[in-house]
Structure 1
Amino acid sequence: MSTEKRLAVARLWHEGNSFSPLPTTLADFERREWFDGVAQLARYRGTGTELGAVAAFLDSHPDWEIVTLRCASAPPGGAVEDALYEGIVTDILRGLADGGRWDAVYLSLHGALVTMGEPQADLKLIRRVRDVIGSTVPLGVSFDLHANVSPELVHLVDFASGYKTHPHVDMDQTAARVLAELERLAAGGARLAGAVAKVPALLHSFNMRTNAGPMAETMADARAATADGVKDISVFGGFVWGDSPDAGGTALAWAETPQQARNAAEDIAARLFGRRAQFQTSLPTPQQGLAEALKHPGLVCVVEPSDNPLSGGIGDTTALLRALLDVRIDGEAVFAFFYDAGLVQMAAAAGIGGVLPVKLGGRIAPHFGAPIEARAEVLALTDGHFINEGPFETGMAVDLGATAVLKVDNVKVIVTSSCQAGIDPAYFRLHGIDLAKTRLVAAKAKNHFRAAFADRAAVIVDVDTPGPAALDLSVLPFRHLPAGMEM
């Protein structure tokens, strides 16, 4: 009889914007990540991702058999179609039920997954996994820092931990933490006690970076409190555009005793709540932001978080480009991006050097800004494939679908066939853009953009524009928030 220990791995990673007009479909998952079978782990080896950590665990643990069940992730976007969610969950549950004996199970989740009809989709999945594997098999989960975490979590899992950096450059470290705890439990180690303390406030992620500010201070408090029997504390900012009964900030603690865990979680949650006003912000208009950025020499960047794909943006709003076209810039200006597969096809038909009438943006949600009508020259066409080289998801292959670069007046406009943020230097190199010779980049992005560009740009200015991830939460039709939640 084999003495190998057996680990089941499954992944369903998606951050859902409840207010996006675009649902997340199977095609979105297939373009980014859709596989099962351990052989597929090879492409994640050495990457800064959760599955990169699983590959490293496999390499360093010849006494473990890893069975990779359905692994699916899609870029942040609108709610996942209900039938698609159910199909993915059924794949995972069937694999667990038919797989025989498990010594541990690891789930890689985001924590802010919503479907058309289920605002607690991650929690529902965890419940169903626990029902299949029983109460004795160690179950560990990793989450994004922006997870909306339920207090029920600690009654369902043996360990869970979240990213501790924003921008998120510790995905692999987070998974490694969970895997190490599962290994300890599988070897007979004592189960830790968990506690969740909720923060009754929606915390905007604009000021949630962990290099400075209120989240950095709270993370430092959590590190200092991880001592004397407290083994791990995760601080979750929550995802404000995910309409969920579990919305709001969270502190999650694991300790040797329930009292230690509860005290640690409640203390960190209270500190986070006490800093809630520091998460509020105001942003300049696009015109003000462009003027401020251009006061600085060298490469400058202006970003519009309201249409950031990593917050569920749709790559379609027009306010920033409209303002940019009114500015005469001494040097090259780049706008990244619009999501419009039809326009890419038109550009491909015209060919490089071709000139065509275009409508930019306003295709999906014109109420966020009417289309910009212009004549554009086709500068470049690509297959949309590149490898991330920045610190966010380092080494991961990206497929944008076919893309085009159009020149409209004095601006190069990138148009793609999928809605994915341009946050990596390789994204721009793919499109023939030399950042060293670029004066201004205007991007649909937010905090993750800074991971690769904070050291490259003289300044990065956020601006306020209409969009599905807009600054003003009071205009959004929330239905599931807990009573008494501060906005």
Structure 2
Amino acid sequence: MAFPLTFNQRIQIKSQKNRLQNVCFGLPMQKRICFGAVMKIAVARFWYEANSFSPFTVGMAEFRAREWLRGDAVGSAFRGTATEIGGALEWADARPEVELVFSRCASAPPGGPVKQELLDEIVAEIAGDPLFHDVDGIYLSLHGASLGTESLASEEEIVCRLRACYPETPIVASFDMHACPTQRMVAALNGAAVYRTYPHIDMAETAVIALELLAQNITGEIRSSVLMQRINKILPSFGMRTAPGAPMTEVVHIANEQVSAFDGVFAVCPFASFAYADTPAANAGVLVTYAERSAAERAAAAVCRKMVSLRKKFTPKLRAASEVLQSRPWDGGKRIAILEPSDNPLSGGGGDTPGLFKAALDMGVPEGSVFAFFNDSALVARAAESGLNSQLDVALGGQLDRRFGAPVAISVYVEKLTMGRFVNAGPMEAGRPTELGPTVLLRSGPLRIIVTSAAQSPNDINYFTLHGINLEHVPVLLAKAKNHFMAALGPIFDRVIQVDTLGPAMANTYALPFQHVPVERFDLS
């Protein structure tokens, strides 16, 4: 049975339908390999990003609402989705010689640290799963920036415990661009792949890279290790979109060049780290999968030099929310999206800070504008009890945490109630179900306000369709979002502006009480 390897030196995506057939970076083209028997690969997943300054910790309810699966249920949930597991399933479907078996697959929306008892349960279940006893290789889908209420390196614990149990079994992992990998974890891997796009629309492709590396290690075509080199800096994500001319795009380009420049180097994957994870491992750098150590060191050094040379371009330059709103950027009929990244749930925000909302009330916005969103399950329940078209006096924001501002008192009308369920249209995580919990759409003067029962970034068109909102007719959208917003919703607006407010993911990291990250890592001067 022929084993087709699909990598050259860059990504080519011709259409959403055939994206996986056209992933072309990361691994040099090798000769086709023939297998005489089934290749059995075990898959486990722990995908969580923790903001140390989030107003809440995360428990089982958040994981069950998003992803708490194992066995055959994993394939049923993920087939056809633009996710790592979706990519793994499509990769295996094209190869009759490959069998995937699934251990625990768990993820939750970003937030605060995971409750330690639950984190210990997840680590123990994956690391001690007898499923791994009779497999040829292990693929781990890891975000790379999880934290517990006590532990600071749970992914390291998973990988190292598996390596101790299975010293000869190839283990490969995929990571988010904002991972915080440790040297001990990296030393236990045979290969690593990292998202190359931000917004992260290449999750499925990243899994394919990891699985191709794993397959080559299983068959003995290569026997690889992973090298990590870091720059003692954390690159803020505000300006990290991989758009043409952007600094991260240049870094990814240099990384891709190293694969063709050096024999014995199979994948070169830069990562920026996560600026709100208070862990010693928060530190940008590069992961190189290699067979030739000296070549890997040279490749890593080239990428790190590029990161250091471009560091100043990653410095966020955001204007205050009140200043932006006072300038009335919508004048002349322009349709504007104003983003509040300091409370972006995909950076660990809680959907609770009042800064942008208060500025909008103080400065005024055009009729038909929308604010998305506040996370307040108690208010949703109160609105549901009051009923459609009822009037309520409410306090918005500052319900979970008043460090970043006091609640804003306002009178509203209840316009729409929903159960908060939709399927992502994509491109990011296309086909994946999303649970907001029960929601309410409120109206106050010219502004409609979405209130949810869970903190989920408003990055998908169906988030708004659920609430009867056609974004084509919205003059100003105020959203607790960041760069991922651009994948689906950026093209809808004439201009997208990120503004600065107080919050757990604010631009001024110096104002946050870090304990484990040296302050010099935030100095990009």
Bin the TM-score by the shorter chain.
over 0.9
1:164 corresponding residue in structure 2: 196
Contact 2:367 2:447 in 1 (8 A): no
- Specify the alignment match of 2:343 in structure 1: 307
* C-alpha displacement of 1:256: 3.4
Secondary structure (helix, strand or coil) at the match of 1:70 reads strand
Amino acid at match of 2:138: V
In structure 2, what residue type is equivalent to 1:31?
A
Match of 2:206 among 174, 189, 194: 174
Sort the Cα spacing of 1:113 and 1:429 in 2 relative to 1 into closer, same or farther, 3 A.
Answer: same
Question: Which one of 215, 218, 225 corresponds to residue 248 of structure 2?
Answer: 215
Tell me if 1:116 matches 2:149: yes
- Structure 2 distance, partners of 1:297, 1:86, is 54
Aligned residue in 2 for 1:22:
56
Which residue in the other structure is 2:22 paired with? none
Residue 428 of structure 1, CA deviation: 0.4
SS of the aligned residue for 2:297 comes to: helix
* Local SS of the residue matching 2:242: coil
CA distance in 1, matches of 2:366, 2:377: 31
Q: Which aligned pairs between 1:79-94 and structure 2 lie closer than 5 A?
A: 79-94=113-128
Unaligned runs of 5+ in 1: none
Q: Partners of 1:197 and 1:83 in 2: how far apart?
A: 32
Match of 2:481 in 1: 445
- Is the 8 Å Cα contact of residues 318 and 372 (structure 1) preserved in structure 2? yes
Equivalence for 2:215: 183
| Code of the aligned partner of 1:363 | Q
- Quick check: 60-69 or 41-50, which moved more? 60-69
Alignment partner of 1:136 is 2:171 = no
Is the Cα contact below 8 Å between 2:192 and 2:288 reproduced in 1?
no
The residue aligned with 1:42 is 76
Q: Which runs of 5+ in 2 are unaligned?
A: 1-35
CA distance in 2, matches of 1:89, 1:10: 11
Equivalent pair of 2:368/2:446 in contact (CA under 8 Å): yes
Q: 1:318 aligns with which of 347, 354, 364?
A: 354
Contact 1:38 1:66 in 2 (8 A): no
Task: Number of aligned residue pairs: give it.
Answer: 484
Residue matched to 1:346: 382
Paired residue secondary structure (1:100): helix
Letter in 1 for 2:111: G
Select which of 207, 228, 250 maps to 2:285: 250
* Fraction of identical pairs, as percent: 37
Structure 1 pair 418–483 and aligned structure 2 pair: CA distance change class (3 A): closer
Q: Deviations over 1:393-434 (max 9, x none)?
A: 111110111000001222111000111111111100100101
Instruction: Give the alignment partner of residue 12 of structure 1, picking from 43, 46, 54.
Output: 46
Q: Is the 1:166–1:208 Cα contact (8 Å) retained in structure 2?
A: yes
Structure-2 change in CA distance of 1:99 and 1:119 (3 Å): closer
Partner of 1:146: 178
Matches within 5 A, 1:244-323: 244-290=279-325, 291=327, 293-295=329-331, 297-323=333-359
Whole-Å Cα distance in 1 between the matches of residues 384 and 254 of structure 2? 53
> Is the 2:142–2:176 contact (alpha carbons within 8 Å) kept by the matching residues of 1?
yes
In the alignment, which residue of structure 1 is the partner of 2:454?
418
Matched-pair contact (CA < 8 Å) for 1:246–1:482: no
Matched, 1:336 2:372: yes
Shift of 1:378: 0.4
Contact 2:45 / 2:105 at 8 angstroms: preserved in 1? yes
What is the deviation of 1:194? 2.6
Per the alignment, in what secondary structure is the counterpart of residue 7 of structure 1? Answer: strand
Q: Is the 8 A contact 2:67 2:105 kept in 1?
A: yes
Where do 1:317-466 residues align within 5 Å?
Answer: 317-466=353-502
Q: 1:322 to 1:458 in 2, by over 3 A?
A: same
Provide, for residues 324-356 of structure 1, a one-character-per-residue CA deviation record: whole Å limited to 9, x for no partner. 123443331100000000000011011111111
SS across alignment from 1:57: helix
Q: What are the Cα deviations for residues 282-325 of structure 1, in whole angstroms up to 9, with x where unaligned?
A: 21111222235324634210011100000000100101111112
Aligned equivalents of 1:292 and 1:156: distance in 2? 54
Partner of 1:60: 94
Give deviations 1:205-258, integer Å, cap 9, x for gaps: 111111132111111111122213222111101101001111121111123310
Structure-2 separation of matches of 1:203 and 1:40: 34
Distance across 2 between alignment mates of 1:398 and 1:154:
32
**TM-score (normalizing by structure 2):** 0.89
> Shift in Å at residue 55 of structure 1?
1.5
State the superposition RMSD in angstroms.
1.6
**Measured at CA, do residues 205 and 269 of structure 1 come closer, stay the same or move farther in structure 2, by a change above 3 Å?**
same
SS at 1:77 equivalent: coil
For 2:307 and 2:49, how far apart are their aligned partners in 1? 22
CA positional deviation for 1:99: 4.7
Letter in 1 for 2:426: G
* SS, match of residue 442 in structure 1: strand
The match for 2:8 is none
How far has the Cα of 1:153 moved from its partner? 3.5
What residue number does 2:158 align with? 125
Could you tell me whether the CA contact under 8 Å between 2:180 and 2:281 is conserved in 1? yes
Contact 2:271 2:284 (C-alpha < 8 Å) held by counterparts: yes
